[in-house]
Amino acid sequence: MKKKKIIAANFKMNKTHVEVREYLKSFFKKLKEFSRTFNAGDVNGNKENGSDSGSSRKSASLGAAGAEIIFAPSFTALNEAYNIIEENFEFRNIVKLASQNVYCESSGAYTGEISIDMIKAFSCSYAIIGHSERRWIFNESEELIAKKISAILNYNKKIETDICNACDNNAEKHSAKFAAITPILCVGENLEIRKSGKAFDFVAAQLNSALNCYTKNLNVGTEQNKDEFRLTKNAKSLKNNHDEGNIGAFASNIDTEKLIIAYEPIWAIGTGASIEPEDGEKMHKFIYEYLTDNYDIKNFSVIYGGSVTEKNINFLMEKNHIDGVLVGGASLDPQSFFNIYSFAVSK
C-alpha cells in the first residue's frame, strides 16, 4: 500500500494568531474548491458533468485524502488554528496540527517551555523535534533531543495502557484523549560535513542517538533490547486482543510508535539552494534502510525539508523514498503552500 503523502507547513516565528486565522480561512477555501475538482477527476479545475453536486464532506473525504496536511504555527496561534480546523470539520481527517517544539518534562519550573499535555489541549497530532534551528541556534544537544523523543514515546505508551483499561465502549468520546503524538524528528548535515563525504554517517549517528528509546530490531539488538522487544510485542498483543465493543476496534487503530523523519540538509534551509532530487533520494533511501535494519518501527515516513518551493515539489515527489515535504518560507503564503500541496497530490 502506498503511503499517504505528508505536506507540512512550519511557520517558525511568523504570523500572529489573527494572521493565522486569515491564512487558514483562505487555505480552506482553496482546499474545498480543489476537493470538488479533484473528486471529479480533473485537478486542473475543469468541471465534469455537474461535479459540483454532492456534499463538501463527501468530496473532502474522497478527493482531498491523497495527502495529510500539517500546520505548525507558533504556540500563541495554536488555539486559533485549532478553532479554524474545527470549523472546517469535513477536513479534520486530513488537516492536522503540529507543535514546533515540546519539552521532555510534563510540568515544573521550566520557563518558556511547553509540555505534551499543553499541545494535546489543542489537538496537536505532531511535534517537531530537533529542528536544525533548535540544534544550531539554541544549542539543543543530542541528549535533550533523545529525551524529548523518549517523553513522547512514553506518553504514547501510557495512552496504549489507558485504551486497554477503558471499559465504557465509547470510542468517539475517547478519541481526543487517546490520540497519540507523532514526533517529526529532524536530521541533516551542514555543508562542511556534506563536502567531507560523511553525510550518511552523520545522519545515522543522529538517528541512533534520538531513537534509542524505540524498539530495536530483534535480529541485531542486545539481549536487553531483545527483552524490551518481547515486552513491547506482548503489550501490543494485549491491546489488539482487547476487542470488546468500539474501544477494542479503536485501540487496534492507534499507532503509538508512528514516526516521521524530516531530512533537512542545513545548507539548503532558507537559502533557496535545494538539494538535487537524486541526492535527496539517496539520503532518504539510506534512512529507510537504516530504520528498517536497526529498528522495529512498522509505521514511519521520511519527508524532505530545505527550500521546498512550487518549482521543485514535482521533482522531489517523483522519488520513491520521499514521502512528503516540510515547508518553511514557502508555506507562509497560503497560495504558494496550497500550490505545493496540490502539485504533490496530483503526482
As annotated, the active-site residues are 131, 264
**Euclidean distance between CA atoms 222 and 256, whole angstroms:** 23
Strands 182-187 and 300-304: unpaired
Cβ atoms 130, 185 nearer than 8 A: yes
* H-type alpha helices, 64-131: 78-87, 116-120
- Cβ atoms of 240 and 164 closer than 8 Å: no
DSSP codes joined into one string, 154-191: HHHHHHHHHHHH--S--HHHHTTTTPPPEEEEEE---H
For residue 257, which amino acid is it? Answer: E
Residues 193 and 185: their CA atoms lie apart, in Å, by 19
The grid coordinates listed for 324 are 512528503
DSSP state of 216: B
